[in-house]
A and B are shown apart, each in its own frame.
Chain A
Amino acid sequence: MNNTYDIIIIGAGHAGIEAGLAAARLGCRTAIFTQSLDAVGNMPCNPSIGGSSKGHIVREIDALGGEMGKVADETTIQFRMLNLGKGPAVHSPRAQVDRRAYADTMKLRLEQQENLHLIQGEVTSITHCALRITHWQVTLLTGTTYTAQCVILATGTFLRARVHIGQHNHQSGPDGLPAAMQLSDSLEQLNVPLQRFKTGTPPRVNRRSIDFTQTTEQPGDENPTPFSFEEPISTRNLACRGGNLPPEAIKLSQTPCHLTFTTEQTKQVILANLHQSPMYSGIIDGIGARYCPSIEDKIVRFADKERHNLFIEPCGLTTNEMYLQGLSSSLPKDVQHQILQTIPGLEHAEVMRPAYAIEYDCVNPLALRPTLEFREHLGLFGAGQFNGSSGYEEAAAQGLMAGINAAHKILDREEFTLGRHEAYIGILIDDLVNKGTNEPYRMMTSRAEYRLLLRHDTADRRLTPHGHKLGLISNERFAQYEAKQAQIEQEKQRLASVRIIWQGKSATLFELLRRPELDYAALANHDPERPALPAEVITNVETDIKYEGYLKRQQAQVQEMLRLEHVPLPSDLDYQAITALRIEARQKLTAARPETLGAAARISGVNPADVEILLLYLKKK
């Protein structure tokens, strides 16, 4: 038995999966350890992938050769493009997925991956290798030891995890899986700075106990846009179902969700029972998310709001379990029942799994470099919720980046990081490692300064060349990508050359498309020579033309940002000695140790005057 690997990954959730696949695909001998092989790629919270800004991340992962988007496409049971009423920058793909099918498909993907070993076993300690100081030794509960040059911590919400339901609480990981109680001790011995976070999940109820007549149906899109740039959704989707369904069946397979809402009575029940919520009675030390708040949080914080939307979402095609999005809670089980009784359609809902809150150990991500390697521990990486983030997509993105960088370390290749102007993934990691977070970090479109450049439909244009260069995108797929880009360019040129008479004046189609009131479809009758193009090519062409002026403006903003981004800050810079900096700025900079002046400028508590001082200081040196 060979217990030596290039890279060991602790955890087989969304971060661990992408890390393992990327590392193995880049040629490293890789092992993923998980407590339970039945929980690989589990979705302990919402049965969906994507959503506002998260959908962008999934497409970026796909453009870099990751797996999340493909498996989501294969196992989706409803697809919707969110925010269609808003601008193109915030259009965001989202898929309900069959969580069992997703987990099974993903597990098979790992099992089939060359160089990758998926092993069941709880890691209880990680130490420096006694014989080879550049290597790490990982010990399982059973005492078996493994060594590797790089270790990626992707432990999710399992470390010293505690589940809270009302005043009751017990040691447990998510979905009834056991907590990992020992690994934190080992990390503390390494002086890894841990913090305690909390997150929660809503109840699951039985479909047959819901009165759907009182709810509003939320159908899927008629023409779904897949996450993956690789091939059309239909073939994958059908292949996954194992049948030869006709095209119309795709539409049928768009299982509906349902919308209901909280009422005045819901509010009364919650307010009367607030003292039983561990959040409010102070049992949970962990800091909860502002962005994915519990229903009790929402009722208290938005007291003037009459009602809150609740979405009833199927957990899969082979189960009656329904997920109640928007009803995350840590109130006691009986209060949860009372709450459901006040909600139209859910009056008789039968709870199968109660809502609960979970608190867990994670790292303060300021200890990480932009490659997600620990600044103080060479070869040790963090990814996913362990790094203080929230969400499957954020986790997968970090896993991918940590996997690539760990592999590059072993292969002695250049570090791979993405800028804030290149990808939401870049923003995610830049925020985590430079600003840190004191609550589970969730991606939002407003965190992106250059939203219009970071549209979901441009993820391939932004990142596929990177993915190809890394070796995670095949030559065949890269050729497909180049063909698509050529199509986009050709169509733009064609539109610029076709002149028509519009409202009595001569204009090119390109010029007409610039007008906000006109779109590509509206001009169809005036454009007989129009070639048949894939929907996404049209979207690209149309948005590029319509927003040309704004895209240029945004590009100029990027150039201005890069000015500071290209100024490196020495890693041994003694900020305390730069007395011209304000004290708060000195402390924040010392904690985060940003690698560039641009990163320093984004740290809250470092104001523009401090940045100028740093710039002047560096010039003088």
Chain B
Amino acid sequence: MPNPTIAAIATAQAPGGIGVIRISGHAAFDIAQRLFVPKKPLDYSQLRSHTMAYGTLHDFPSPQNQPFFDAYEAPPQVVDDIICLFFPAPHSYTGEHVVEFQCHGGMVVMQRALQAVFAAGAQPAGPGEFTRRAYENGRLNLTQAEAVMQLIAATSEQAARAAQAAMGGALSQAIDQTRAALIALQAHISAWVDYPEEDIPALQSEEISNILQTAQQDLHALIARAPRDNLMLQGINTALVGRPNVGKSSLLNLLAGYDRAIVTPTPGTTRDTVTETVQLGNLTLRLSDTAGIRHTEDAIEAAGVQRSRTALAQADLILAVFDASQPLTAEDHELLSQCDSTRTIVIFNKCDLCDISASGGFTSAPTVPLSALHGIGIPALTQAIEQLLNTSSFNPNEAMLANERQRVCAQQALSAIEEALTAHQSGYPLDAISICIEDAITQLFALTGERATDVVVDEVFARFCVGK
């Protein structure tokens, strides 16, 4: 039994200039024929790849293909003027017949069009089902499929570029290379153990170490830069901390470009954690404006303070804001002591009101003078963040581990390789070593999805939004 034909709105569930309905499956062309009346005649039996036609989309059934049309009381209504795109199998996204209706993107129109498609025989597509079919039909490997999801979720240009590189196979190629070296090593070990009479040269101990070490280094580099890559792909979780009324909310508003937080001269105005995603050069900051950390008797404010502390612990980046116009207080010092200096940038706000140089030597973290009110100091802040998180070395075209599943596989492969190295260095025979190498190879296959279990596959595809 072939897969059922599926359909979904492929564009965002919001009003837009155009909206696309995607239909995939063996009956996709039949469904199109029932609903779509082209302006110029169209021969469905001879559709070339990537054919485009203009015409009208009707409620089911369409007048041309329904012989009992006259028997209907009211003729099927025109839903929309559309452009219809045809992708015959296997040269389509899913590898099946695919039809896309480009409609006017109104919510009502789109829903009506989709209902017509369902009435004509399609079933609603599950989450990620189109991409899953592309994977099942060999159009994409697992990391490429994940990259599609990554691209959809990308919030910055850099993240989008990285997703593009992953779809192109940047990660699979890097993994393939490591895996090929390990497979070659396995093959040599096998040949050597198999031919006792043929005096096949034993692999030199150094050679084995070299191959394993190269694999170790490659994987290690990939894993080591994963946290940084992740910052670029997912955005940087940033905690904005500081004593009340030092100007955190003003800074948030400046970065966001509009009045996101309520700013008053009264300390303790911000009680809940206010979050906002902002762009700073190539960086995406997921900013949390926290309640000012101070000792308070107010229960609600105290809860806010507790949240701030949590945000502090979990943040990739801490922007600690101090008021440069006033002497530092004991509370300021206590706050600073709670910030991990490797993740912290100290901001002296209101720098226009005083001479900042007096504050030197206050902390080992990088320091940026800034005026949130007057918009001074943002380029310096950007630079400081890039330096601190080493993001300027980020290369979107490089292989990178884009999610937890990939990281776990890479980590397990790395441990197996390290175990092989240890076994080799402590004098275990090749039998023992090859068991570890085999495990590493299996993990690398799992990483690219070529030997992924169905459980993994289910998990990957469950994370797709409907329509992709």
Binding site for B on A (CB under 8 A): 51-53, 82-83, 86-90, 92, 308-309, 311, 325-326, 444-446, 449, 451-452, 515-517, 547, 550, 553-554, 557, 560, 563, 579-580, 582, 607-609, 612-613, 615-616, 619-621
Q: Whole-angstrom distance from the CB of B4 to the nearest CB of chain A?
A: 10
Q: How far is the CB of B119 from chain A (nearest CB, A)?
A: 24
For B445, list chain A residues within 8 Å (CB).
Answer: 608
B196 contacts A446, C-beta separation under 8 Å: no
A117–B138 Cα distance when bound, in Å, is 57
**With a CB–CB cut-off of 8 A, which chain B residues contact A619?**
454
Known A309-B199, A550-B428; further 18 A-B contacts with Cβ < 8 A: A52-B193, A52-B194, A82-B196, A86-B429, A87-B428, A87-B432, A89-B431, A90-B431, A452-B432, A516-B428, A550-B432, A553-B439, A563-B453, A607-B450, A608-B445, A612-B454, A620-B1, A621-B1
Once the chains are docked, how many angstroms separate the CA of A311 from the CA of B450? 45
With A325-B197, A516-B427, A619-B454 given, is the CB distance from A582 to B138 under 8 Å? yes
Measured in the bound complex, the distance between the Cα atoms of B198 and A308 in whole Å is 7
CB-nearest residue of chain A relative to B199? Answer: A309
Could you list 7 examples of A-B contacts with CB < 8 Å?
A53-B194, A449-B438, A516-B427, A547-B432, A554-B435, A563-B453, A580-B95
| Residues in B whose Cβ lies below 8 Å from that of A579 | 2
The residue in chain B whose Cβ has the minimal distance to the Cβ of A452 is B431
* Chain A hits for B365, CB < 8 A: none
Residue in B136, B194, B430, B438 whose beta carbon sits within 8 Å of that of A557 in the complex: B438
The answer for the CA separation of A60 and B429 in the assembled complex, in Å, is 24
Q: What class of interface size applies to chain B in its complex with A?
A: 35 or more
Give the chain A neighbours of B465 by CB distance below 8 A: none
Q: How far is the CA of A550 from the CA of B136 in the complex (A)?
A: 35
B414 to chain A, nearest CB (A): 15
Contact of A445 with B194 in the complex, beta carbons under 8 Å: yes
Let me know if B450 and A615 touch, CB within 8 A.
no
By the criterion CB–CB under 8 Å, are B137 and A580 in contact? yes
Query: Could you say which of A449, A452, A580 contacts B136, with CB atoms under 8 Å apart?
Result: A580
CA distance A220 to B137 in the complex (A): 58
Q: Does B52 contact A (CB under 8 A)?
A: no
Which 4 residue pairs are nearest across A and B when measured between Cβ atoms? A87-B429, A446-B190, A87-B431, A516-B427
Q: Is B430 a contact partner of A92 (Cβ separation < 8 A)?
A: no
Min CB gap A225→B, angstroms: 16
- Is the Cβ of B457 less than 8 Å from the Cβ of A612? yes
Interface residues in B399-422 by Cβ distance below 8 A to A read none
Asked if B435 and A553 make an inter-chain contact with CB atoms under 8 angstroms apart, the answer reads yes
**Which residues of A are found within 8 Å of B452, using beta-carbon distances?**
608, 612
**Residue in B closest to A547 when the chains form the complex, CB atoms:** B432
A311, closest chain B residue (CB): B197
A90 to B192 alpha-carbon distance, docked (Å): 10
Tell me the smallest distance from the CB of A484 to a CB of chain B, in Å: 23
Point out the residues of chain B lying under 8 angstroms from A620, CB to CB: 1
* B50 interface hit (Cβ, 8 Å): no
B373 proximal to A (CB < 8 A):
no
**Interfacial chain B residues near A615, Cβ < 8 Å:** 454
Q: Is B191's CB within 8 Å of the partner chain A?
A: yes
Q: Report whether B451 and A608 are in contact in the complex, using a CB–CB cutoff of 8 Å.
A: yes
A309-B197, A309-B199, A553-B439 given as contacts; is B138 within 8 A of A609 (CB)? yes
Residues of B within 8 A of A515 (CB): 426
Docked Cα-Cα span, A607 to B454, in Å, equals 15
Residue of B193, B196, B434, B450 touching A609 (CB-CB under 8 A): B450
Q: Are A516 and B431 in contact (CB under 8 A)?
A: no
B226 neighbours in A (Cβ, 8 Å): none
Instruction: State A575–B196 Cα separation when bound (angstroms).
Output: 42
CB neighbours of A444 from chain B (8 A): 190, 194
B277 at interface by CB-CB < 8 Å? no
CB distance from A251 to the nearest CB of B (A): 23
| Of A53, A88, A325, A613, the contact of B431 (CB 8 Å cutoff) | A88
Contact, CB under 8 Å: A90 / B435: no
Contact between chains at A451 and B438 (CB < 8 Å): no
Smallest CB gap from A51: residue in B: B196
Chain B residues with CB under 8 Å of A582's CB are 138
With a CB–CB cut-off of 8 A, which chain B residues contact A451? 431, 434
Instruction: Give the distance to chain A from B435, nearest Cβ to Cβ, in Å.
Output: 5
| Known contacts A87-B432, A452-B435, A553-B436; is-contact A446 B191 (Cβ 8 Å) | yes
CB pair B193–A86 under 8 Å, yes or no, is yes
Cα A621 to Cα B1 in complex, Å, equals 9
Residue of B nearest to A563 (CB): B453
A613, closest chain B residue (CB): B136
| Interchain nearest-CB distance for B179 vs A (Å) | 13
Report yes or no: B454 in contact with A557, Cβ–Cβ below 8 A.
no
Most buried by B among A53, A92, A550: A550
Answer yes or no: B258 CB below 8 A from chain A CBs.
no
Within B420-468, the residues touching A (CB, 8 Å) are 423, 426-432, 434-436, 438-439, 442, 445, 450-454, 457
A121 to chain B, nearest CB (A): 39
Contact with A along B182-219 (1 / 0, CB 8 A): 00000000111111111100000000000000000000
Contact B431–A446 (Cβ < 8 Å): no
> How far does the Cβ of A343 sit from chain B's closest Cβ, in whole Å?
16
Contacts of A449 in B (CB 8 A): 438
Chain B: CB-nearest residue to A444: B194
From 160 to 198 in chain B, residues with beta carbon under 8 angstroms from any chain A beta carbon are 190-198
Nearest-CB residue, chain A, relative to B438? A557
Check B2 against A557 for contact (C-beta < 8 Å): no
B138–A52 touching, CB < 8 Å: no
Look across to chain B and name the residue whose beta carbon is closest to the beta carbon of A620. B1
- Cα(A112)–Cα(B342), bound, Å: 85
Most buried by B among A53, A580, A613: A580
Task: Indicate if the CB atoms of B430 and A86 lie closer than 8 Å.
Answer: yes
Return chain A residues, CB-CB under 8 Å to B457.
Answer: 612, 616
Q: What residues of B have a CB within 8 angstroms of the CB of A52 in the complex?
A: 193-196
Complex: A79 Cα to B195 Cα, angstroms: 18
| B435 x A445 contact (CB < 8 A) | no
Residues of A within 8 A of B195 (CB): 52
Q: Shortest CB–CB separation between residue A217 and chain B, in angstroms?
A: 16
State in angstroms the CA–CA spacing of A86 and B189 once bound together.
Answer: 11
Q: Which of B193, B436, B439, B454 is within 8 Å of A445, CB to CB? A: B193
The interface centre, meaning the residue of A51, A82, A83 with most chain B CB atoms within 10 A of its CB, is: A83
Question: B451 to chain A: which residues have CB within 8 Å?
Answer: 608
- Name the residue among A92, A445, A446, A554 with the largest chain B CB count within 10 angstroms: A446
Given contacts A446-B191, A449-B438, contact A309 B431 (CB under 8 A): no
In the assembled complex, the CB of A616 is this many whole angstroms from the nearest CB of chain B, namely 7
Looking at the assembled complex, report how far the CB atom of A424 sits from the nearest CB atom of chain B, in whole angstroms.
13
B305 to chain A, nearest CB (A): 48
Closest to A611 in B: B451
Contact present for A517 and B191 (CB under 8 Å): no
Which residues of chain B come closer than 8 Å to A517, judged between CB atoms? Answer: 426-427
Closest Cβ of chain A: how far from B51's Cβ, in Å? 22
For B454, the chain A residues whose CB sits under 8 A away are 612, 615-616, 619
Q: How far is the CB of A383 from chain B (nearest CB, A)?
A: 24
Bound CA–CA A451/B194 (angstroms): 12
CB interface residues, B 55-104, toward A, < 8 Å:
95
Tell me the complex Cα distance, A90–B457, Å: 37
Q: Bound state CA distance, A563 and B442, in angstroms? A: 15
- In the bound complex, CA of A515 to CA of B95 (Å): 55
CB of B416, distance to nearest CB on chain A (Å): 8
A613 to B197, CA, bound (A): 43
- What residues of chain A lie closer than 8 Å to B197, measured between beta carbons? 309, 311, 325-326
Contacts of A609 in B (CB 8 A): 138, 141, 450
Report the bound CA distance from A452 to B457 in whole Å. Answer: 31
* Residues of chain A lying within 8 A (CB to CB) of residue B435: 452, 550, 553-554, 557
In contact, B190 and A445 (Cβ under 8 angstroms): yes
Task: Chain B residues near A325: list those with CB within 8 A.
Answer: 197
| Complex Cα–Cα for A620 and B198 (A) | 51
Q: B1-26 interface mask toward A, CB cutoff 8 Å, 1 = contact, 0 = none?
A: 11000000000000000000000000
C-alpha gap A433/B370 in the complex (Å): 76
C-alpha spacing A449/B430, complex, angstroms: 14
